[in-house]
Structure 1
Amino acid sequence: MKGHIRKRGNKYVIVVDLERDHNNERRQKWFSGYDTKKAAQKDMPRILNEINTGNFIEPSKESFAAYLEKWILNKRSRLKASTFQVYKTHLRIHIIPKLGNYKLEKLNRLHLKTFFSYLENDLGLAPATIKKVHTVISSALSEAVEDGIVGKNVAAGLKTARIERKEIHVWDEKQLLQFLNSSKNDPLYIAFHLAAMTGMRRSEVLGLRWKDVDFKNSLLRTVVTHTPYGASDGKTKASFNRTIDLDEVTITELKKRKERVDYEKERAGRAYKDNDLVVCTSLGTHVTPRNLNRKWYQLKEDANVPSIRFHDLRHTHATLMLLQGIPVKVVAERLGHSSITTTLDTYNHLLPSIQREAIAMFSKNLYN
């Protein structure tokens, strides 16, 4: 199979002579868009090699936007509801408006670098958000490669802004008790108690069902999570599907909560929507993350404690356990970390003080 270069207007094209068809008619394939003859000469061996080895992929004439719209629909059944909505949002707000008009075959790394620079410098998006946008693009292009639509994933290996780890802010024992005691009579108190006493994530707290609470054995199972986009099965991620042992105080609080839910169910009658939720409205419906956060900010202020995020209750739980000498492996299991490495990376700032206390206790026990 041979190829040659022709000049067309101000551009150069590569013309490849293919095998004749069944009617012995001549067949050619043209590759256009080269600004110089040298550029065409440089690319011709690659094209000939791909055609000869059967690895040549016919360039797609489809726009990136058209491909993405089909791709996201096909992904729906394979993604958690929350992830699907996040992907759709990034496509609608960021990716398609800026990159959608490019032909899929013409999209290159320079386009993506310029795009990510725009997100960072013009829109001022956080590095974590930009990384998520990159994940969406790379995932879509990776499937395009697998499906033989494009030859390579031009987003693969592309570096985006470095994510700086956020500083963790936690309460000490006195501050935690001050908040819990101050908030005890609030209808949503159980949500904050569970987060502080189990290390559960907000989505796990909002998705907890009564059937996943084992009063007899003093434990609960995190099986379903609830996000702004609805409920999803925790089995989609191992760390969201675990068993957590409960203390006596938490069991008591859960029993009190169950009595309140049963009372509200009876009072509401047919208007009650029984979703078997531990944390719910007076009519049994889901408490949204937004409404929980509103209550969180209000109760923090009422309790006159330092301001931390709801997620920092999880960090507070882990920090207080580690400072009390609880083994890292136990803490990792309660938090649902895939390995103790994650726990150590997150709370390594505590290790020096934990070691000092440990050796002091060891020495005291040994010599006394």
Structure 2
Amino acid sequence: MLNDINQSSLFCDYYKQWVEVYKKGAIRDATMSKYLMTHKWVERLAPQLRVSELTRTAYQQLLNDYASEHERQTTLDFHHQLKGAILDAVDEGYIERDPTRKAIIKGKTPRAKKIKYLNQFELHTLIADLDLGEEANWDWFILLVAKTGMRFSEALAITPADFNFARQTLSISKTWDYKGDGGFLPTKNSSSVRKIQIDWQIVVKFAELIKGLPENEPIFVSGSKIYNSTVNSVLTRHCKACGISEISIHGLRHTHASLLLFAGVSIASVARRLGHASMTTTQKTYLHIIQELENKDVDLVMRTLSGL
């Protein structure tokens, strides 16, 4: 039971203690920061709301106030983060009935989001401009992300032991805590633990690069703190030098997926390679590309039928 909490307690205080008791140490730091941000919004939107006053109407008003400044998906996340705490309050007898039942999720219309990625020619130009010396550097890192589609934290955590050159595979089973104090962390989700095929160029180049390196230590982590912005700056310099579209490291992941989709690789295979929890994620992220491919399919269908 939470300390010093009763029906007359402020809901924001109850939620703060609930997060401390049930979430601290049980979830990733990045997820924990979202719960803490939710607490700040509760403090801001309903500072005087007491646990006993949390009716369906009061809860819906809280959601509505939040939704007035956020998109629907963000409001849905806010709702889910509050719901666990509220259901526990119901179980403890602080609240008589579940106020989250039949909650209506609203939100601002999402802004059109066009992901940035390179086309095949631009990617080829970028790779040709990389300085791939005898020692691991951020140019090697850029090459690996472009060829594998890994997330930034996944690529940072790659060690020599993760490569199986005989089978041409790379095992992705961990991430690097670049936002915190460093060290290995679990992957984003269970689907992110995967083995992906790597091409012969990566096999030849990395087999030589990692010779003599410690088997279980990250290839690209030297000891000092790593910032996403540092690697993005290196990538931006190359893009400017090549006269191609400027993208981020995450944009290389999008580039990888986009090229595979345009090449005719199935959505299911792309989803597995990227470590998405489901094909739905892949479909939502690359909807515009899938629609473009569907338009090509229609043309192909019509040409095929007209030739019968």
Please give the range of the TM-score, normalised by the shorter of the 2 chains: 0.7 to 0.9
Which has the larger share of strand? 1
Is 2:132–2:140's contact at 8 Å kept on the other side of the alignment? no
1:243 paired residue number: 195
Deviation at 1:354, TM superposition (A): 5.0
Query: What are the ranges of 5 or more consecutive residues in structure 2 without an aligned counterpart?
Result: none
Residue type of the partner of 1:233? P
Q: Quick one: higher RCO (CA 8 Å, sep 6+), 1 or 2?
A: 2
- In 2, the alpha carbon distance for the partners of 1:213 and 1:307 equals 30
CA distance in 2 between partners of 1:339 and 1:110 (Å):
30
* Counterpart among 320, 329, 332 of residue 259 in structure 2: 320
Confirm whether residue 253 of structure 1 aligns to residue 213 of structure 2: no
Normalising by structure 2, we get a TM-score of 0.77
- Matching residue within 140, 149, 172 for 1:222: 172
Structure 2 CA distance for aligned equivalents of residues 60 and 225 of structure 1: 42
So what's the TM-score if we normalise by structure 1? 0.66
CA pair 240-305 structure 1, distance change in 2 beyond 3 A: same
* Mapped contact 2:10–2:50 kept (Cα < 8 A): yes
Separation (CA, whole Å) in 2 of partners of 1:360 and 1:321: 24
SS of aligned partner of 1:243: strand
Distance 1:361 1:344, change over 3 A: farther
Equivalent in 280, 288, 295 of residue 221 of structure 2: 280
User: Greater CA radius of gyration, 1 or 2?
Assistant: 1
Query: Do 2:72 and 2:105's aligned partners in 1 also have CA atoms closer than 8 Å?
Result: no
Quote how far apart the aligned CAs of 1:85 are: 2.4
1:247/1:117 Cα in 2 relative to 1: closer, same or farther (>3 Å)?
A: closer
Report what 2:234 is aligned to. 295
1:24-60 deviation per Cα after TM superposition (whole angstroms, max 9, x unaligned): xxxxxxxxxxxxxxxxxxxxxxxxxxxxxxxxxx971
Kept after mapping to 2: 8 A contact 1:279/1:287: no
The alignment yields a C-alpha RMSD, in angstroms, of 3.5
Across the two proteins, how many residue pairs are aligned to each other?
Answer: 288
What are the equivalent positions in structure 2 for 1:10-89 lying under 5 Å apart?
60-73=7-20, 74-89=22-37
- Identify unmatched segments of 5+ residues in structure 1: 1-57, 266-273
Deviates more, 1:142-151 or 1:329-338: 142-151
Q: How do residues 283-362 of structure 1 correspond to structure 2 at under 5 angstroms?
A: 283=223, 285=224, 287-345=226-284, 346-347=286-287, 348-352=290-294, 355=297
Instruction: Summarize deviations over 1:100-155 as a string: whole Å, max 9, x none.
Output: 4421121313540453156x1xxxx5655544434322332233334443234434
1:183 touches 1:303 (CA, 8 Å); kept in 2? Answer: no
Residue type of the partner of 1:198?
T
**Contact 1:257/1:278, CA 8 A, preserved across alignment:** no
Output the CA distance in 2 between the equivalents of 1:295 and 1:126: 33
**Residue 145, structure 1, aligned to residue 90, structure 2:** yes
